[in-house]
């Protein structure tokens, strides 16, 4: 007899020193369905998954796989039993080719040698099944993020996984790639695989999932069929309060032109070509585009991180030259980068260090740093950005993503920039904290700062910005008034030069 | 219950010190008269030049760099300073007609020479993007070659440079006697250098930038830190310290050859690592480095004191280095 549920996690609890991370959480996944797991960061989604994979051992509760009680001691055991995970941070060996990665740790052998031919054929078979058009012999480092993710999924399939956990699979995918991912997910459903889908993106969840389980503060809140839910209901369950406005009210006033960019072209192509735009004080200019549209290259070029071939940058009517971040900072630019972990934070170092490093020159007399003023400014960052931290001496790496982001934004505000560039400012941040970041951005615009905000989340661009410039394949496809546009128009522009 | 857990954690976090204290206890049990003021003064004196070298290397380790040329630069500084500071009445002078110089002129000169070699290291690493290991490996060989050419020259060829100016020897071997309590000059020099370096690391922009570059080089560049400039300055400072240590080494021993300072960089790196400087950059303190060097010297001296064979000493030292890093790494893995 077929079990009704493929996976059952019943009354799982996990206590950490000082916090109850999970409190009797139950999750039941039916075969051939997508089960979305939603909750704010810190709600316990990852902890629950770590209990499933044996990375943490739950204090109480039971796990049944196909009606059989299981208790995995490590991720490897879980994998061998058909439970696998596609990580948010991709775990691939970039220097090796695709099939090496898929069969890593269990290469098919003939005698002493690795059976390359069989490896190739088996990989190809899985790719055909999932409609992935890639050469198994391609080096992983040449692939895009979405292609790497597909490799991870193919890897999970190659283990004959019955349960596949996907942690924020679409966080760096374009709409087109998301569509492909969903096609793959549907193929997996056909095979009877149960998918646990962790995401912050509500519209996607409603589109793809069959059931939705909401968690909050380590507790199970509810499990419902997706067909009975809408975005507002889910958010309400997640945050435990009515969040009628997902975006703060906009009351910024737009002033004079502060930045004028003409025919900006980057040296190393493919990159931006002939990009021209204007930015005004108090304005929030969004940048939209698909992955690969070179949105980030614009701010990199303006910040001296990318060499410029030709083009003119005028700040306050004066033409300037920017060849490194120091020039950019001197001219009033600030950049909050997309990859918070790799180019933003100094994870091992404390909040004081992280807050003051970009502005260190202004605390110095003859190269000696005035610690009192550093402390004062750090306190300003903590207070005005509402950073939740025990002290200035706390290592930034121990804070949540939202709080880290607030420190980074604070870091740049200390340099008193006129032009603040934010690249994906709310990536990996939960709904509540996102609202706070939006509020911060709008408040800054109100104070006369000019803001460039890159985002791949359309609702966010439509909710926060004044104008949106749409990039397509390195070209500027158009600049639209946020009030007068819609998602369809932006998507059309984004595809203009493809 | 909680108490035992806390104790266990404290022991774990300081396991390297526990091991070393245990080793020290064994040494003391085997030879109780190890615990004497004379012995500890000797240990501190021997540790002094090594502290100066280690402080140079430590700053580079924190930037995710390293310096294999440190020992050979010490050797170059020792040979050059000794050759210029031989007593006028000594028979085998490298420069028979050289006037007696003020001792500070050659010392400053070798500090400048090594500073230039350090700067070259910094330029090769930051401008040509050669990994620090390879860049300084090359520099190590070059400096040895330069030193050997200088050393092996007429009139007397490759002879150890001896007969040093007594004033120069006193500069390193002398001591203050305060009410019967003897403080060697070397210890004072090491203390002064330690203070200066502490100030640089903790109170200056250069220090902040050093930690930033080591903690996350890309984030440092984005934050407006001039990574290349700061690296070049740090490598130059390291060179200057080797130069100073080299002249002290010559004066302390009373002679110098082109092999003076050989492998000192490895001792220095090992001491830094034992003192908690992370090889992957971004982490390290002055006090850790100083303690690391002293611990190493205590073990060195102690093992010799109780008559452990030199060969066995190497094995024990090697084990200490490996276990220090293994334990340290464990600490960080656990934190995740």
**pLDDT, tens digit, for every residue of B257-267?**
999 999 999 99
Contact A262, A285 (CB under 8 A): no
> What are the chain B neighbours of A305 within 8 Å (beta carbons)?
221-222
Helix (H) or strand (E) holding A425: none
Contact B284, B277 (CB under 8 A): yes
**Which pair of tokens denotes residue B122?**
């910094």
Contact B200, B294 (CB under 8 A): no
Segment B48-57, tens digit of pLDDT: 999 999 999 9
Provide the pLDDT for residue B250.
95
Provide the pLDDT for residue A1.
40
Residue A219 and residue A272 in one domain: no
Q: What is the largest CA-CA distance in chain A?
A: 79
Provide the pLDDT for residue B126.
95
The C-alpha atoms of residue A456 and residue A201 are separated, in whole angstroms, by 11
In a domain, residue A122? The reply is: yes
For CA atoms B34, B39, B44, B50, give the dihedral sign. Answer: negative
**Which pair of tokens denotes residue B262?**
């050989």
In a domain, residue A148? The reply is: yes
- Chain-chain contact of A325 with B222 (C-beta, under 8 angstroms): yes
* Cβ neighbours of A427 (radius 10 Å): 19
Provide the pLDDT for residue B199.
94
Contact A494, A473 (CB under 8 A): no
Residues of chain A with pLDDT under 70: 1-3, 17-19, 41-42, 88-90, 172, 241-245, 431
The three-class DSSP label of residue A367 is coil
Contact A6, A70 (CB under 8 A): no
Does residue B134 have a cis peptide bond before it, meaning omega lies within 30 degrees of 0?
Answer: no
**Which pair of tokens denotes residue A9?**
């996690």
Nearest chain A Cα distance for residue B282, angstroms: 7
CATH number at residue A452: 3.40.50.300
- Residue in B closest to A354 by C-alpha: B212
Residue A163 and residue A271 in one domain: no
- Chain-chain contact of A305 with B220 (C-beta, under 8 angstroms): no
Residue A323 and residue A266 in one domain: yes
Q: Which CATH number fits domain B2-335: 3.40.720, 1.10.600, 1.10.3470, 3.30.1380?
A: 1.10.3470
Segment B120-136, tens digit of pLDDT: 999 999 999 999 999 99
Q: Which residues of B lie closer than 8 Å to A, measured between beta carbons?
A: 203-209, 211-212, 215-216, 218-226, 282-283
> What are the chain A neighbours of B227 within 8 Å (beta carbons)?
none
pLDDT > 90: what percent of chain B?
56
In a domain, residue A205? The reply is: yes
Residue A31 and residue A82 in one domain: yes
Residue A359 and residue A303 in one domain: yes
**Which pair of tokens denotes residue A193?**
């695989």
Within its chain, how far is the Cα of B104 from the centroid?
21
Q: Where does a domain end: A208, A239, A270?
A: A239
Segment B287-324, tens digit of pLDDT: 999 988 998 888 888 888 888 898 998 898 888 888 87
Q: What is the mean pLDDT of chain B?
A: 89
Contact A449, A419 (CB under 8 A): yes
- Chain-chain contact of B282 with A367 (C-beta, under 8 angstroms): no
Residue A316 and residue A225 in one domain: no
Nearest chain A Cα distance for residue B104, angstroms: 27
The C-alpha atoms of residue A151 and residue A103 are separated, in whole angstroms, by 11
The C-alpha atoms of residue A455 and residue A179 are separated, in whole angstroms, by 19
Query: How open is the CA angle B144-B147-B148, to the nearest 5 degrees?
Result: 85
- Bridge partner list, A312: A262
Cβ neighbours for A478, distance < 8 A, ≥ 6 positions apart: A469, A470, A493, A496
Provide the pLDDT for residue B88.
86
Closest C-alpha among B47, B87, B230 to residue B169: B87
| Domain residue ranges in chain B | 2-335
- Residue owning tokens 């130059």: B236
Residue A224 and residue A265 in one domain: no
- Bridge partner list, A350: A395
**Whether residue B334 has pLDDT greater than 70:** no
Q: What is the largest CA-CA distance in chain B?
A: 77
Provide the pLDDT for residue A302.
94
Residue A17 and residue A128 in one domain: yes
Q: How would you classify the pairing of strands B175-178 and B181-184?
A: antiparallel
Nearest chain B Cα distance for residue A103, angstroms: 27
Residue A336 and residue A442 in one domain: yes
> What are the chain A neighbours of B224 within 8 Å (beta carbons)?
325-326, 328-329, 358
Segment B216-225, tens digit of pLDDT: 888 898 888 9
- Chain-chain contact of B216 with A358 (C-beta, under 8 angstroms): no
**Which pair of tokens denotes residue A85?**
């995970």
Cβ neighbours for B218, distance < 8 A, ≥ 6 positions apart: A342, A343
The C-alpha atoms of residue A124 and residue A114 are separated, in whole angstroms, by 17
The end-to-end CA distance of chain B, in Å, is 24
Which among B203, B223, B282 has CB closest to A357? B223
In a domain, residue A1? The reply is: no
The end-to-end CA distance of chain A, in Å, is 51
Does residue B155 have a cis peptide bond before it, meaning omega lies within 30 degrees of 0?
Answer: yes
Contact A301, A476 (CB under 8 A): no
Provide the pLDDT for residue B321.
80
The three-class DSSP label of residue A282 is coil
Residue B161 DSSP code: B
Contact A312, A319 (CB under 8 A): yes
- Residue in B closest to A398 by C-alpha: B336
Residue A275 and residue A232 in one domain: no
Provide the pLDDT for residue A281.
93
- Residue in B closest to A362 by C-alpha: B205
Residue A61 and residue A17 in one domain: yes
How far is CA B253 from each of CA B46, B66, B79, B173, B264, rounded to the nearest angstrom?
11, 27, 12, 9, 15
Provide the pLDDT for residue A131.
82
- Residue in B closest to A357 by C-alpha: B223
Nearest chain B Cα distance for residue A61, angstroms: 25
For CA atoms B87, B93, B95, B97, give the dihedral sign. Answer: positive
**Which pair of tokens denotes residue B166?**
């007594």
- Residue in B closest to A355 by C-alpha: B223
Would you list the DSSP string of A128-193?
HHHT----TTSBGGGS-HHHHHHHHHHHHHHTT-SEEEEESTTTT--HHHHHHHHHHHHHHHHTT-
Provide the pLDDT for residue A46.
82
Residue A336 and residue A481 in one domain: yes
> What are the chain A neighbours of B206 within 8 Å (beta carbons)?
367
Phi, psi (degrees; rounded to nearest 5) at B327? -70, -40
Closest C-alpha among A83, A34, A23 to residue A55: A83
Q: How confident is the model at residue B246 (pLDDT cuts 50, 70, 90)?
A: very high
The C-alpha atoms of residue A288 and residue A472 are separated, in whole angstroms, by 9
- Residue owning tokens 């021997």: B46
Q: How many structural domains compose chain A?
A: 2
The residue range of the domain holding A306 is 257-494
Per-residue burial over A369-402, b if 16 or more Cβ lie within 10 Å, else e, is beeeebeebbeebbeebebebeebebbbbebbbb
Q: How confident is the model at residue B335 (pLDDT cuts 50, 70, 90)?
A: very low
* Cβ neighbours of A117 (radius 10 Å): 10
Higher-pLDDT residue of A481 and B23 is: A481
* Torsion from C-alpha of B212, B215, B219, B220, nearest 10 degrees: 20
In a domain, residue A469? The reply is: yes
Nearest chain A Cα distance for residue B217, angstroms: 8
- Residue in A closest to B199 by C-alpha: A368
The C-alpha atoms of residue B148 and residue B134 are separated, in whole angstroms, by 21
Nearest chain B Cα distance for residue A222, angstroms: 31
Query: How open is the CA angle A463-A468-A469, to the nearest 5 degrees?
Result: 155
In a domain, residue A247? The reply is: no
Provide the pLDDT for residue A212.
93
Half-sphere exposure of B272 (CA within 13 A, CB side): 29
Single pTM value for the model = 0.76
Residue A341 DSSP code: I
- Chain-chain contact of A368 with B204 (C-beta, under 8 angstroms): yes
Contact B173, B252 (CB under 8 A): yes
pLDDT > 70: what percent of chain B?
96
Provide the pLDDT for residue B10.
74
Does residue B131 have a cis peptide bond before it, meaning omega lies within 30 degrees of 0?
Answer: no
Cβ neighbours for B336, distance < 8 A, ≥ 6 positions apart: none
- Chain-chain contact of A357 with B216 (C-beta, under 8 angstroms): no
Q: What angle, 0 to 180 degrees and rounded to 10, lies between the N-to-C axes of helices B166-173 and B185-203?
A: 60
């Amino acid at each position: 007899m077929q079990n009704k549920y493929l996976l059952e996690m019943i009354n799982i609890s996990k206590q950490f020193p000082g916090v109850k991370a999970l409190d009797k959480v139950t999750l039941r996944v039916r075969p051939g369905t997508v089960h979305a797991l939603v909750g704010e960061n810190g709600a316990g989604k990852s902890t629950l998954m770590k209990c499933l994979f044996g990375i943490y051992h739950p204090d109480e509760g039971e796990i049944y796989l196909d009606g059989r009680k299981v208790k995995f001691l490590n991720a490897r055991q879980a994998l061998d039993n058909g439970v696998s995970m596609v990580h948010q941070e991709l775990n691939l060996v970039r220097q090796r080719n695709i099939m090496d990665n898929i069969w890593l740790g269990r290469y098919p052998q003939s005698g002493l040698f690795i059976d390359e031919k069989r490896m190739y054929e088996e990989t190809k078979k899985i790719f055909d099944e999932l409609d992935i058009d890639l050469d198994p012999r391609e080096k992983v480092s040449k692939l895009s993020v979405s292609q790497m993710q597909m490799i991870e999924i193919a890897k999970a399939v190659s283990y004959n996984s019955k349960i596949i956990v996907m942690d924020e699979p679409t966080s760096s995918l374009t709409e087109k790639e998301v569509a492909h991912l969903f096609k793959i997910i549907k193929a997996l459903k056909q095979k009877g695989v149960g998918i646990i889908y962790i995401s912050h993106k509500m519209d996607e969840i409603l589109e793809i999932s069959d059931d939705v389980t909401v968690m909050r503060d380590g507790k199970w809140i509810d499990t419902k069929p997706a067909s009975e839910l809408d975005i507002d209901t889910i958010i309400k369950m997640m945050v435990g309060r009515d969040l009628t406005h997902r975006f703060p009210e906009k009351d910024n006033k737009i002033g004079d032109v502060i930045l004028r960019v003409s025919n900006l072209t980057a040296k190393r192509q493919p990159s931006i070509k002939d990009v021209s735009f204007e930015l005004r004080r108090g304005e929030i200019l969004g940048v939209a585009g698909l992955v690969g549209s070179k949105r980030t290259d614009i701010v990199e070029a303006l910040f001296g991180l990318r060499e410029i071939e030709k083009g003119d940058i005028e700040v306050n009517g004066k033409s300037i030259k920017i060849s490194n971040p120091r020039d950019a900072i001197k001219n009033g630019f600030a950049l909050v980068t997309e990859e918070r972990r790799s180019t933003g934070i100094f994870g091992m170092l404390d909040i004081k260090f992280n807050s003051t490093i970009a502005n260190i020159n202004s605390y110095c007399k003859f190269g000696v740093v005035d610690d009192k003023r550093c402390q004062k400014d750090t306190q300003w960052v903590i207070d005005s950005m509402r950073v939740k931290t025990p002290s200035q001496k706390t290592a930034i790496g121990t804070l949540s993503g939202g709080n880290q982001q607030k420190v980074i934004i604070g870091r740049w505000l200390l340099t008193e920039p006129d032009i603040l560039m934010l690249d994906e400012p709310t990536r990996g941040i939960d709904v509540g904290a996102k609202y706070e970041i939006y509020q911060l951005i709008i408040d800054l615009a109100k104070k006369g700062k000019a803001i460039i905000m890159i985002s791949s989340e359309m609702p966010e661009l439509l909710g926060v910005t004044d104008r949106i410039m749409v990039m397509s394949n390195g070209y500027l496809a158009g600049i639209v008034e946020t009030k007068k546009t819609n998602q369809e128009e932006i998507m059309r522009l984004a595809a203009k030069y493809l | 219950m909680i108490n035992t857990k806390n104790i266990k954690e404290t022991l774990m976090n300081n396991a390297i010190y526990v091991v070393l204290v245990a080793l020290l206890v064994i040494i003391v049990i085997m030879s109780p008269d190890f615990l004497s003021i004379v012995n500890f003064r000797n240990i501190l004196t021997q540790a002094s030049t090594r502290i100066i070298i280690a402080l140079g290397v430590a700053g580079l380790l924190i930037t995710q760099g390293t310096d294999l040329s440190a020992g050979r630069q010490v050797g170059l500084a020792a040979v050059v300073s000794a050759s210029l500071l031989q007593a006028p009445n000594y028979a085998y002078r490298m420069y028979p007609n050289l006037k007696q110089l003020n001792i500070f002129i050659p010392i400053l000169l070798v500090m400048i020479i090594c500073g230039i070699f350090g700067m070259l290291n910094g330029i090769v690493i930051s401008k040509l993007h050669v990994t620090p290991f390879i860049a300084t490996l090359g520099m190590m060989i070059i400096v040895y070659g330069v030193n050997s050419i200088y050393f092996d020259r007429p009139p007397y060829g490759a002879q150890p440079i001896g007969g040093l100016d007594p004033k120069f020897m006193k500069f390193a071997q002398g001591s203050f006697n305060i009410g019967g309590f003897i403080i060697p000059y070397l210890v004072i020099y090491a203390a002064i250098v330690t203070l200066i370096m502490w100030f640089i690391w903790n109170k200056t922009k250069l220090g902040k930038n050093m930690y930033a570059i080591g903690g996350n080089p890309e984030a440092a560049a984005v934050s407006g830190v001039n990574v290349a400039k700061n690296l070049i300055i740090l490598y130059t400072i390291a060179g200057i310290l080797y130069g100073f240590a080299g002249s002290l080494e010559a004066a302390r021993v009373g002679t110098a050859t082109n092999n003076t300072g050989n492998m000192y960089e490895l001792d220095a790196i090992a001491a830094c690592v034992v003192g908690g400087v992370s090889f992957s950059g971004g982490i390290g303190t002055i006090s850790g480095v100083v303690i690391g060097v002293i611990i190493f010297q205590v073990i060195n001296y102690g093992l010799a004191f109780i008559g452990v064979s030199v060969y066995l000493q190497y094995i024990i030292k090697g084990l200490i280095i490996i276990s220090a890093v293994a334990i340290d790494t464990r600490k960080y893995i656990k934190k995740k």
